[in-house]
Amino acid sequence: MVVQKYTSFTWLTVADNIAYGPKINGVPPAEQRQIVDHLIEAIGLTGFEKSYPDTLSGGMQQRVAIARTLANRPQVILMDEPFGALDAQTRSDMQQLLLRMWDETASTILFVTHDVDEALYLADRVFIFSARPGTIVEDIPVPFRRPRDPAVRQTAEFHEMQEHVLACLRRAPGKGHVRVSV
């Protein structure tokens, strides 16, 4: 699970944070090193292996949290607004990282966001929930093929889908929230 608040263990280095799950799951040390090395490179933190979380930027800390989750090779990843506190550039970088990681792992990702653009860009399906009681108001398939090109956000079809999602949110009882499943 990856949440909005940075959740790395402050007393562990980047490499040790990523190795934590495999270590407690009994993965042999040599395989732990392979997993850590691969993920450090994949998340773009080569050279920061021995750094501690409090010395990293928010985006870097969030990449460590994602790598720590991926190190366990989960079939399902839950992400609750993991990019909500990031600046626009870092958020875009993290979206690209998530798409690359999804291409590599093919894990099922349940991604919660209130950002319609983010939902449509990342998802294969967007679920719109109503407020109390939380029920699915709409299940919208996203037709954009993978791998996703950021240019898809500039297409007329993307903008039409944004309008459709926003209209669904306006019709939803209570305050609508966007839930995304990749």
**pLDDT attached to residue 93:** 83
* Residue 176's pLDDT band (cuts 50, 70, 90): very low
Q: Which parts of 43-173 fold into alpha helices (H)?
A: 58-70, 88-105, 116-122, 156-171
The mean pLDDT of 35-41, rounded to a whole number, is 94
* Short-list 75, 178, 63, CA closest to 119: 178
At 180 the pLDDT is 54
Query: How do residues 45-100 score in pLDDT, each as one tens digit?
Result: 999 999 999 999 888 998 899 899 989 989 999 999 988 877 888 888 888 888 88
Q: How much is the pLDDT for 175?
A: 52
Residue 23 binned pLDDT confidence (cut-offs 50, 70, 90): very high
For residue 115, what pLDDT is reported? Answer: 92
Given this model, what pLDDT does residue 117 score?
94
Q: Please determine, for residue 114, whether its predicted confidence score (pLDDT) is greater than 80.
A: yes
**What is the three-class DSSP state of 129?**
strand
Residue 174 has what pLDDT?
64
Identify the burial level of 47 via C-beta atoms within 10 angstroms of its C-beta, where 0-12 means exposed, 13-18 middle and 19 or more buried: exposed
Reported as a pLDDT band with limits 50, 70 and 90, residue 103 is confident
Q: Tell me: pLDDT of 170 over 60.
A: yes
Mean pLDDT rounded to a whole number for the chain: 89
**Mean pLDDT of the region 133-161:** 92
Higher pLDDT, 124 or 1: 124
For the chain, the helix, strand and coil percentages under 3-state DSSP, each to the nearest 5: 50, 15, 35
pTM of the predicted structure, to 2 decimals: 0.80
Mean predicted confidence (pLDDT) in 115-119: 94
